[in-house]
Amino acid sequence: MESAGDLTTTRAPFIENARADGELYIEQPYELYSAQNHEAWRTLYSRMVPRWERYAHPKFLEGVNNVALDPDRVPRLSDINKFLSPLSGFSAKAVSGYVPAYLFFDCLRGRAFPTTITIRDLSKLDYLPEPDIFHDAAGHVPMHTDKVFADTLVKFGEVARSAARYAQSINDKEQAYRTIESIIKGMARFFWFTIEFGLMRSNGELKVYGSGILSSYGEIEYAIESPEPQRYPFQLEWVINQYFEIDHYQPLYFVIESFDELFAAVEQLEDWIEAGKLDCLSPGEPNVNEEDLKSFLEASV
Ligand SMILES: [Fe+2]
């Protein structure tokens, strides 16, 4: 059994207390990780490495090398940042849980990535609906060492600010709500099908750069090898109108040709938002909550 004070996902008193006190950005209380927490990291990491070598995009493998993650212990974010910040200006910033949409994107604009510090239960390594430090630090952070990728995340933050300005300029309050709900949906779908579940062609081979896949032992093989999912070239108008579900392997992936193409697509997203093209996207997942809406409509932009 874990000690009462460890940092297991959904069962960490430290996190519950921080949330109860309204603290979103926190310190990583490293001494609270239990032996089982470290064992969960070690197990996740060691079984993932051969799959990364086989299926991950070369930029991700370079990143894993560059941030020097410890295979045996949950990483200290301060150690990661020592390697990461000189490369792209990015840092991993500890959070106590869910970050409302605008704050999330705005954090990216400031070159910081909101990073979960809890780790999944040793007995549930395969499926976890919530992000944990393995997903965030091993799945996301290595990509942040790449300059173009890091700039793409910053651009996402700028797009969010443009979207907030655009929605705040709408006088009719109800219309402003409807519009920003649709835009947040579009941005979340774009983020999902690229940063979280994106595939990319590299030297003629299909590779994974999306963090949701890179942190999943089962899905990384499925995404590349299985005949089941559909794989289509990235198309902005499709992606922003495509609903997604989070509780099973993805039935649909979008393949992009390069990180430059990805950056250009985020720029195009901003143009489309300002041209009103995201005002009325198709309904369906993801659900946008009240906190997300308010975070955009009340942001100082
Ligand atoms: Fe993620």
**Is 90 exceeded by the pLDDT of residue 126?**
no
pLDDT of 130: 86
Domain ranges of the chain: 13-297
How big is the chain by its Cα radius of gyration, in Å?
19
**Is 80 exceeded by the pLDDT of residue 188?**
yes
Distance of CA 37 from the midpoint of ligand 1 (Å): 20
Distance of CA 199 from the midpoint of ligand 1 (Å): 15
At 226, the pLDDT band (50, 70, 90 cuts) reads very high
Distance of CA 132 from the midpoint of ligand 1 (Å): 9
Distance of CA 173 from the midpoint of ligand 1 (Å): 31
pLDDT of 2: 42
Distance of CA 211 from the midpoint of ligand 1 (Å): 6
Q: Check if the beta carbon of residue 87 is closer than 8 Å to that of residue 105.
A: no
Distance of CA 2 from the midpoint of ligand 1 (Å): 26
At 92, the pLDDT band (50, 70, 90 cuts) reads very high
Q: What residue has token string 């780790």?
A: 119
At 4, the pLDDT band (50, 70, 90 cuts) reads low
Per-residue pLDDT of 141-172, as tens digits, reads 999 999 999 999 999 999 999 999 999 999 99
pLDDT of 228: 98
**Is 70 exceeded by the pLDDT of residue 101?**
yes
Q: What residue has token string 């997903």?
A: 135
Distance of CA 228 from the midpoint of ligand 1 (Å): 23
Q: Check if the beta carbon of residue 211 is closer than 8 Å to that of residue 196.
A: yes
Distance of CA 175 from the midpoint of ligand 1 (Å): 30
Architecture of the domain spanning 13-297: Orthogonal Bundle (1.10)
Q: What residue has token string 């979103």?
A: 24
CA neighbor of 74 nearest in space, from 13, 136, 142: 136
Distance of CA 214 from the midpoint of ligand 1 (Å): 10
Q: Which strands make up the sheet holding 230-233, listed edge to edge? A: 205-208, 199-202, 252-256, 230-233
The mean per-residue pLDDT over the stretch 32-56 comes to 97
Of the listed ranges 32-36, 127-131, 137-141, the least confidently predicted one is 127-131
At 247, the pLDDT band (50, 70, 90 cuts) reads confident
Rounded distance, CA 278 to CA 127, Å?
Answer: 33
Look at strands 199-202 and 91-95 and give their pairing. Answer: unpaired
What is the SS3 assignment for 164? Answer: helix
Distance of CA 135 from the midpoint of ligand 1 (Å): 6
Distance of CA 131 from the midpoint of ligand 1 (Å): 6
The mean per-residue pLDDT over the stretch 135-141 comes to 97
Q: Provide the residues around ligand 1 (an ion) whose CB is within 5 A.
A: 211
Residues in Cβ contact with 23 at an 8 Å cutoff, skipping those fewer than 6 apart: 96
How many angstroms separate the most distant Cα atoms in the chain? Answer: 56
Q: What residue has token string 């004070």?
A: 5
CA neighbor of 250 nearest in space, from 291, 189, 168: 189
Question: Across 123-250, where does the E strand assignment appear?
Answer: 199-202, 205-208, 230-233
Distance of CA 182 from the midpoint of ligand 1 (Å): 21
10, exposed or middle or buried, with CB in 10 Å at 0-12, 13-18, 19+?
middle
